[in-house]
Structure 1
């Protein structure tokens, strides 16, 4: 979950932003078109589900509490 909290979008108009900070509309678009393969797709699916359920703030809180222990990707 810590890695997910710190994971950033690697491409596109939102490149460099934390996945939890991407707009829900972006996730809805990917949901229709298909999420990317691999880790990014799994993480985006998880964040999408968190946004739908209104719990994406958990990821912000994890970042706040682990600011000195960022994972290296």
Structure 2
């Protein structure tokens, strides 16, 4: 259970490292852009995994869970 928690904490702290939304927390990137990545293919590595998780969270209306974590860290 602890590793899953750490994944969410890391996601809450991560900002986009490049592109149009450079410097924006991943959870705050507009949904249309995340959907575009979903259709195009997420980048490889940790960033891609995090963006895929953001996609799932937005799809299920769970963004507030990450925003609550951001307030606590």
Q: What is the TM-score when the length of structure 1 is the normalising length? A: 0.88
Where is the helix percentage greater, Structure 1 or Structure 2? Answer: 2
Gaps of 5+ in 2: 1-7
Runs of 4 or more above 4 Å deviation: none
Corresponding residue for 1:9?
Answer: 16
Corresponding residue for 1:26?
Answer: 33
- Larger RCO: Structure 1 or Structure 2 (Cα < 8 Å, ≥ 6 residues apart)? 1
2-structure distance, mates of 1:57, 1:9 = 18
Q: What is the TM-score when the length of structure 2 is the normalising length? A: 0.88
The alignment of Structure 1 onto Structure 2 pairs a total of residues equal to 66
Corresponding residue for 1:39?
Answer: 46
1-structure distance, mates of 2:51, 2:68 = 18
RMSD of aligned alpha carbons: 0.5
**SS at structure 2 position matched to 1:42:** helix
